[in-house]
Each structure stands twice: as structure tokens, then as C-alpha cells.
Structure 1
Amino acid sequence: MYAQRNLETRDLESICLMPQSEEELFYMSPRFVHPLTPEQILNIIKDRFEPTVIVVQKTDEVVAYANIYKDDSEESSFWLGNVIVSPSYRGKGAAQYLLDVMLDKAKLNLKIKEIRLACHNTNSRGLAFYSKYGFKPFDVKMTSTDAKKYITIHMIKELHLRYEESEQFR
């Protein structure tokens, strides 16, 4: 049902429509300002790796987006960022497909041994999803906007090559 490809300029407008509120946009990135614009996405991906969209195979409709970034304050720290799924595809496997693709790209393309992410305490659906995927909390930070205070939970997952993946490199 789904396929993945690298982000293209034509995808930006669709991604901008995915966050349904200021809070969802904050979950996607505290650096974004509501309403999300293509220029904000283009600005943030300058320092990102593997900007990826998930599309419906038959129609090429963009249904999810994410990328990976490096935390310059920690030498080998890579983070999953800007994760968003179209409202009409939530609960339909798009997030799972996106996460599988991004973890594979981190392991195979970037040779990352572990990946981190930040999820806010009010995003209980996201916290449950990432926990189910084997992400474990390792730090907690206070984050605030003009309107609200959040607890940002930093999570980490070790990335292991499956046997069949390791065979590709022999």
C-alpha cells in the first residue's frame, strides 16, 4: 500500500497541511511557527539527512514525512526529526511504515548504531507508539511555549542489522 521516496519540492504543500493544530506543529518541531510553510521546511532540512516521504503507491499521495539530524553538541548523536503523519492515514500503518523506513535508512545509509527522538508528555499516542517500537526514555527536559509548558521525553533505540541485512555487506 505504501512506498517511500526522498522529499521533493512538490511534497511541501502536502506536508504543511498535516499538522492539525499549533500543538501538533510543536510536536513536529518546536522551531516551526504556525501555520507551517514550505519555506520553514526547506530552511530546517538544510542540516538534515534522509528527508523522506511516505506515499500511497497507487496515487503517490504524500501521507507521512520525517528526517534525521545530528546533534552537534554530542559527536555521535543522531535524532529522528519532524515526524508527521497525515490525519487521514493515522492508525492505518503509515507511521509504522515511516518508522521502519527511517530506521533502515539510519542503519544502512548512515551507519548509525543508535537513534534518538524527542516526544512531548502530552503526545501520549506518540509515546505509546515509540515505546512499542523499543525506544526507551533516557532524559527529560522542560520545554515551554508562550501558552504551555511541556515535558520533553528523550528516547533512544539501538539499531541492529538483521542477519539478511548484514549478509548484503559481505
Structure 2
Amino acid sequence: MYSQRSLESRDLETICMFPQCEEELFYVSPRFVYPLTTDQILNIVKDRFEPTVILNNVTKEVVAYANIYKDDSEESSFWLGNVIVSPKYRGKGAAQYLLNVMLDKAKNNLRIERIKLACHSTNSRGLAFYSKYGFKPFDMKVTSIDAKKFITIHMSKELF
């Protein structure tokens, strides 16, 4: 039902339509400002590895997006980032397919032994999803944005 390929500039407008509100975009990246724009994606993707889109095999439309980034403060620390699925494809296996593709790329293309991700405590659907696929919490961080405090759960998964 799905296939994958590298991000192309023609995909950007479609991806910008995925976040339906400020909160959803915050889950994708606290650095993004709603509404998401192509410039915001281009600005962040220049420092990312394996920017990947998932396609519906029948319609060829872009249905999901993610990338991988390196945390320069830690030796060999890589993170799954900017994970987003089209509202139309949520609950239809696109997120699972995207996650499997990204884990495969991390392991086989980048030779990453352990991948991490950040999931906000208010994103219970995301936390349950990542836990189901073997990610385990290892830390949490409190972030303040506009006088609001957010708890971010750091999770990781061994790939080898």
C-alpha cells in the first residue's frame, strides 16, 4: 500500500498541510511556527539525514514525512525528527510504515546502533505508538515556551 523515497521540493507544500493546529505542529517540532511553511522545512532539513516521504502506492500522494538528525553535544547520538502523517492517513498504517523505513535507514544507511526521539507528554497517542514499537523512555526535559511549561519524554531503541 505504501512506498518511500527521499524528500523532493515538490513535496513541501503537501507536508505543510499535515499539521492541523498549533499543537500538532509543536509535536512535529517546537522550533516550527504555525502555520508550517516550506521555508521552515527547508531551514531545518539542511542539517538532517535521510529526509523521507511515504507515498500511497495507488494515488502517489505524499502521506507522511520524517528525518534523522545528529545531536552534536553527544558522540554518535542520532534522533528521529519531524515525524508527521497526513490526517487522512492516520490510523491506516502509514505511521508504522514510516517508522519501519526510518529505522531501516538509520541502521543500514547510517549504521546507527541506537536511535532516540522526543515525544511531548501531552501526545499520548505518540507515546503509546512509540512504546508499542519498542522505544523506551530514558529521560525527560521541561521546556518553557511563552510562559508555558512542557514536558518532553526522551525515548530510545536499540537497532543492533
Query: Same fold per TM (> 0.5)?
Result: yes
- Deviation of 1:149 after TM superposition, in Å, equals 2.0
For residue 47 of structure 1, give the secondary structure of its aligned residue in structure 2. Answer: coil
Aligned residues: percent identity? 81
Distance 1:151 1:144 in 2: 9
State the alpha-carbon separation in 2 of the partners of residues 147 and 67 from structure 1. 29
Tell me, yes or no, if structure 1 residue 128 matches structure 2 residue 119.
Answer: no
Answer with 148-157 or 76-85: which moved more: 148-157
Runs of 4+ in structure 1 over 6 Å off = none
Q: Which amino acid aligns with 2:12?
A: L
Q: Determine the C-alpha separation between the residues in 1 that align with 2:59 and 2:138.
A: 40
Instruction: Note the alpha carbon deviations across 1:15-74, whole angstroms, 9 max, x for none.
Output: 000001101101000110111000100010111000000010121101000000000000
Please give the residue correspondences for 1:7-156 in structure 2 after superposition, counting only pairs within 5 Å.
7-146=7-146, 148-156=148-156
Given residue 27 of structure 2, which amino acid in structure 1 is its aligned partner? Y
Give the 3-state SS of the residue equivalent to 2:46 in structure 1. Answer: helix
Structure 2 alignment gaps of length 5 or more = none
Query: If you compute each CA radius of gyration, which structure gives the higher value, 1 or 2?
Result: 1
Aligned counterparts of 2:15 and 2:96: Cα–Cα separation in 1:
18
TM-superposed CA distance for 1:145, in Å, is 2.2
Aligned length: 160
Query: Partner of 1:154: helix, strand, or coil?
Result: strand
Distance 2:79 2:144 in 1: 20
* 2:152 match: secondary structure: strand
- Residue segments in structure 1 that go unaligned for 5+ positions in a row: 161-170
**What CA RMSD, in Å, does the superposition of the two structures yield over aligned residues?**
0.8
Q: What is the TM-score with the length of structure 2 in the denominator?
A: 0.98
Q: Structure 1 length normalisation: TM-score?
A: 0.92
